[in-house]
Amino acid sequence: MNRSLRPLVATTLIFLFAFLLAVLQHPAMMSTRVLGNFLTDNAFLGIAAVGMTFVILSGGIDLSVGAVIGFTTVLIAVLIMWLDLHPLLAFAIALGVAGSFGAVMGAAIHYLKVPSFIVTLAGMFLARGGASVLSSDSIGIQHEFYSTVSKSYILLPGGGRLTVIGIIMLVVFAGAILLAHRTRFGSNVYALGGSETSAALMGVPVARTTIMIYALSSALAGLAGVVFSLYTSAGYSLNALGVELDAIAAVVIGGTLLTGGYGFIAGTFIGVMLQGLVQTYIVFDGTLSSWWTKIVVGVLLFMFILLQRLVFRAGSRRT
């Protein structure tokens, strides 16, 4: 376990160090107000990244999450605004659709024996295309429920607001940590990432686990879509463009090995927070342009890939 902890420790240290630097420069960043916004603004990314963590731990990749988020926002908007459904019912339907979509992708990956990135690529095209077939224009959502939710929050000491969607993200992370480290499903996910052949011989239900992993990832992307919908009060087929890349970056920066088998959900949380920190810093700074986020995230991604390379190469030589 020691070895796989190292990238996680590195992430945590980098985050603390970066946060310290940011606070030294802009003391205002050290407030529950900023923290609250931090959680709210990154909620959809965090939730999607949780699903991505499971996929990457199992040795796969899911390129469809951004598209599924976009599709879900459109579907919810259509269900609420055109079909007059209650948002909660719309959410349930959306989660069901997203989950089944993921299950189908998982089944394709397992039964057709093709690399996950190709299947989820098809999934990405299908979800984006499907969303724009539903509606190629942005649909605004006006509903009492939405305004109620956006007005509900827990007041933190210091004036910060822990919003509903911030809470949803925290609950998802907590649940995912239990799921990954304390359940049979979690063990099976790690087992698949370690060696699929061995896992199969040891009694891991490979087909079922693979299908569940991608169903979980898409369902969480669907939940991220719900959160995105609550966050923006609109459905648009091009929402969350490229979020899959941010999610992958968060997972890797969080210390999960991209080839699978090693990693932690908690690391992903720090990975998301680190990305959020970079964005918040850029906003606070005011002189830096938004594209620096991408560059910094790219650099962090590179650093962590390199770090994993060193840690796991050194470790694979048994003495």
Residues from 177 through 196 that contact another protein (CB under 8 A): 178, 182-184, 187-188, 190-191, 193-195
Among 130, 166, 225, 254, binds another protein (CB under 8 A): 130
Binding to another protein by residue 136, rule CB under 8 A? yes
Footprint on residues 144-173 left by another protein (CB under 8 A): none
Contact between 7 and 308 (Cβ < 8 Å) = yes
Pick 86 or 182: Cβ nearer another protein: 182
Among 132, 150, 232, 233, binds another protein (CB under 8 A): 132
Binding to another protein by residue 119, rule CB under 8 A? yes
Long-range contacts formed by 125-128: CB under 8 A, 24+ apart: 125/67, 126/64, 126/67, 127/64, 127/67, 127/68, 127/70, 127/71, 127/101, 128/67, 128/70, 128/71, 128/237, 128/238
42's CB contacts (< 8 A; 6+ apart) are: 169, 272, 273, 275, 276
Among 96, 115, 158, 159, binds another protein (CB under 8 A): 115
Pick 76 or 204: Cβ nearer another protein: 204
Binding to another protein by residue 139, rule CB under 8 A? no
Stretch that binds another protein, among 23-31, 109-117, 210-218, 264-272 (CB under 8 A): 109-117
237's CB contacts (< 8 A; 6+ apart) are: 70, 71, 74, 128, 131, 132, 134, 135, 136
**x-marked contacts with another protein along 262-281 as a string, rule CB under 8 A:** x-------------------
Binding to another protein by residue 47, rule CB under 8 A? no
Binding to another protein by residue 301, rule CB under 8 A? yes
For residue 94, which of 15, 102, 35 has the smallest C-alpha distance? Answer: 102
Among 28, 125, 154, 171, binds another protein (CB under 8 A): 125
Pick 37 or 116: Cβ nearer another protein: 116
Pick 152 or 183: Cβ nearer another protein: 183
Among 141, 248, 250, 251, binds another protein (CB under 8 A): 248
Query: Taken in order 1, 271, 298, 259, is the CA torsion positive or negative?
Result: positive
For residue 101, which of 79, 135, 73, 130 has the smallest C-alpha distance? Answer: 130
User: Rounded distance, CA 265 to CA 256, Å?
Assistant: 8
Beta strand pairing status for 161-163 and 153-155?
A: antiparallel
Footprint on residues 195-234 left by another protein (CB under 8 A): 195, 197-199, 201-204
